[in-house]
Structure 1
Amino acid sequence: MNNSVLYLLTVLIWGSTWIAINYQLGDVAHEASIAYRFGLAAAVLFIYCWLKKLPLTMNKQQHLSLILFGMALFGFNYFLLYQAQENINSALACIGFSTLLLFNIINARIWYKTPITSQVVLGGSLGLIGIVILFWPEVKSLSLTDATLYGLILCLIGTLSASMGNMISIRNQKAKMPVVQSNAWGMLYGTIFMIFMVIVQGKTFTFEWTTPYISSLLFLSIFGSVIAFGCYLSLMTKIGPHKTSYANILFPAVAVAISTVVEGFAWNNYTIFGFLAIMVGNFVVLAKPRAAKKAIEQENSLAKSKLTNEKVIAS
């Protein structure tokens, strides 16, 4: 698949996983649900490799790298994000995780000396501003308690863990380690880590034998993990961590669009201008420099026109 298809699949799938995650929240421990998700995903990938006769043999050094990769991206990351959402609402968690773009820009510079272009910084900033605008009604009602601060810190540490996993994935691919087999081993090690977390915390491995829980688990495992992570991590090497990471800012926009159809979400000015900033930021990050500059000028013109109209109405 070309880069555009990989990017589109990543955004659409991960933008729709919020529905499935809603059905995962219940009596089953979060850590257990995460273990089920990536355990099933790993099994699917190993079976795929066996059917396609893809070599699964790795040396000790590669396995060590894959252990770190799996723990960072498929274990510790999700563990902290779930813990964070017990203290903060989904809007703030979404904004916190959107900083993955910034973490990846900084880490790519540290790890691989990747230059930080003004175009990426500008586009990313527009996207982050768009996320804040999109969820501003929920954000402004937040109470800055110790629990909120604690949850936000957990969210940012989890996002940093995801970024570290991204960097390890790039290093693995640069070392000619295949994406599919690497993901299979990484998800297996992430599953083992989550099983360990369940045991250490004294929690139990319960399961909900209901259609919503099982169907959402299958969706998250097959589409949200096997397919989406395969597309995303392939893009990391093809177009770089900066541009790929912008997909994380588009996810909430897709989620809101789906909510409009499924749940009758009502749009307002925050929704419209948040969407506009996110989409322009996406175009700026991915487009050629001249086209990006033109997009920014158009957005500024639209914003000024909106402000002028509001002043006329007020007067």
Structure 2
Amino acid sequence: MSGAPAASAAPPEAPPEAPAPGAQMRVLVPLAIVTLIWSSTWLVIRDQIAVVPPTWSVAYRFAVGAITMMLYALVTRQTLRLPREGWAMAAIVGVTQFVLNFNFVYRAEHYVTSGLVAVVFALLVVPNAVFGRIFLGHVLTRRFIAGSAVAGLGIALLFIHELAAGTAGHAAVATGIGFTLMGVLSASTANVAQATDLAKRLPIVAVLAWAMALGAAMNAGWALLTVGAPSFDPRPAYAAGILYLGVVGSALTFPLYFGVVRAIGPARAAYSSVVIPVLAMALSTMFEGYRWSVLAASGGLLTLAGLVIALRARSPAR
């Protein structure tokens, strides 16, 4: 990741300003598309881990994503060439976003419901803002810190609910949430990397196409070393899930999302993380039989309320 904190003699740089009214739709529309699609991918991921080792499923997903993006670049005559520093950026995003993040997420869903993983993942805004302060010089406010504390309390209540419900053992719940938090940190690293000046000078389609290709190759290599030869679930639903996650959940959404990150910064781009868990928990209730309680509902509401407070604090004037 490139970029450095602002010099101590100068005030910290404010986050990128919100787009002008005429440009808001260019941010809101892609963010809405990403939010709707990623709300559904949590449930599809849950189906992917039934038979095939997670790392192989991740490798298949991003192989499909990389091929789709390269075909798109050819059809639209966009370059796939990268300068030397562009390859470094593709490698950073490939390792953090398409290897570490997704391996952690897929493993987390072995232990807890997809909806709960989505709620915990909503905390992405916290490291996005903290890393943005460290590496990009963005401002952290007291209101943001207070909101993050409220969100953390909400996550704690959800954690307590899972333990009390007895749907999984204490160790399983802790492991699932732990994997999710590691995924959050990995994804945040990629998010902030995409907001650097270097990333903004690079063609986003080329960076992501090669990042997905590198990620797929690294996942396949790691899977060979750790779980053996490739395996594939013969169910049509598994193949359809790979195509959906690779084409729609990756090749379509990541260029849109990282375009928003480049335009308005990683903290504001995480606005989608407030809405995604609400939709994901609804789907989890419908398809996974997630059981709500007063404690779980309170935890979910506190998490979302805290994130809203934190996000509203990330819009100081320049």
* TM-score, normalised by the number of residues in structure 2: 0.77
Partner residue in 2 for 1:297 = none
| TM alignment of 1:234-273, pairs within 5 A | 234-260=259-285, 268-270=293-295, 272-273=297-298
Q: How many angstroms does 1:195 deviate by?
A: 0.8
Write the deviation string for residues 213-236 of structure 1: whole angstroms up to 9, x where unpaired: 122112211221122222221222
Partner residue in 1 for 2:246 = 221
| TM alignment of 1:40-59, pairs within 5 A | 40-59=64-83
Asked if 2 retains the 8 angstrom alpha-carbon contact of 1:243 and 1:285, the reply is no
The answer as to 2:131 corresponding to 1:107 is yes
Partner residue in 1 for 2:212 = 187
Asked if 1 retains the 8 angstrom alpha-carbon contact of 2:122 and 2:277, the reply is no
Structure 2 unaligned blocks of 5 or more: 1-24
Read off the aligned partner of 2:294 and give its amino acid letter.
N
Counterpart CA distance in 2 for 1:265 and 1:203 is: 34
Match of 1:39 among 41, 55, 63: 63
Counterpart CA distance in 1 for 2:79 and 2:176 is: 41
Counterpart CA distance in 2 for 1:260 and 1:10 is: 21
Q: How many angstroms does 1:194 deviate by?
A: 0.3
Counterpart CA distance in 1 for 2:282 and 2:226 is: 38
Structure 1 unaligned blocks of 5 or more: 291-315
Amino-acid identity (%): 26
Residues 287, 2 of structure 1: alpha-carbon distance in 2 compared, 3 angstrom cutoff = farther
| TM alignment of 1:45-124, pairs within 5 A | 45-86=69-110, 88-90=111-113, 93-94=117-118, 96-124=120-148
3-state SS in 1 of match to 2:194: helix
The answer as to 2:38 corresponding to 1:14 is yes
Q: Which shows bigger deviation, 126-135 or 10-19?
A: 126-135
Match of 1:198 among 197, 220, 223: 223
Task: Answer with 1 or 2: which has the greater Rg.
Answer: 1
Q: How many angstroms does 1:51 deviate by?
A: 0.5
Counterpart CA distance in 2 for 1:288 and 1:77 is: 27
Q: How many angstroms does 1:181 deviate by?
A: 2.0
Q: How many corresponding residue pairs?
A: 288
Counterpart CA distance in 2 for 1:114 and 1:245 is: 15
3-state SS in 2 of match to 1:2: helix
Residues 103, 23 of structure 1: alpha-carbon distance in 2 compared, 3 angstrom cutoff = same
Counterpart CA distance in 2 for 1:32 and 1:132 is: 32
Write the deviation string for residues 151-196 of structure 1: whole angstroms up to 9, x where unpaired: 5544433332222122222226644112222111111111111011
Q: How many angstroms does 1:55 deviate by?
A: 1.1
Asked if 1 retains the 8 angstrom alpha-carbon contact of 2:61 and 2:246, the reply is yes
Read off the aligned partner of 1:199 and give its amino acid letter.
L
Write the deviation string for residues 205-255 of structure 1: whole angstroms up to 9, x where unpaired: 122232211221122112211222222212222222122224334322111
Counterpart CA distance in 2 for 1:9 and 1:208 is: 29
RMSD: 3.1
Counterpart CA distance in 1 for 2:62 and 2:174 is: 29
Task: Name the structure with the higher helix share.
Answer: 1
Counterpart CA distance in 2 for 1:163 and 1:288 is: 19
Read off the aligned partner of 2:87 and give its amino acid letter.
H
